[in-house]
Amino acid sequence: TQNAYFEVTPRGGLVDLLNMTSTLEEVLIHALAPNLDYLPAGFCQENPTEYISSEKFRALIAHLRPQYDYIVIDTPPV
């Protein structure tokens, strides 16, 4: 629903990034609002819980942490 809210059609997202089929620069959407970047979920055919509990996801958050004041992760209840 975030894609509709931001009125964007993503070219990929978090899943593609973690699967190493896209780079962060390819999937990160800039300038939706002042000081706001958006990383769509991407297209997940598998269990999404596996992605957010993976070591790759932890590494991504560690990489992004110095670049952002806040990182909001919108997920369904697990």
The number of CA neighbours under 13 Å toward the Cβ of 21 is: 10
pTM as predicted: 0.79
Q: What is the pLDDT of residue 78?
A: 60
Mean pLDDT, residues 52-65 taken together: 93
Of 10, 6, 19, the closest CA to residue 57 belongs to 19
* Distance from the first to the final alpha carbon of the chain: 18
The residue-averaged pLDDT of 16-37 equals: 89
Amino acid at 12: G
- Please compute the mean of the pLDDT values over residues 41-54 and round it to a whole number: 80
- What is the average pLDDT score of the chain? 87
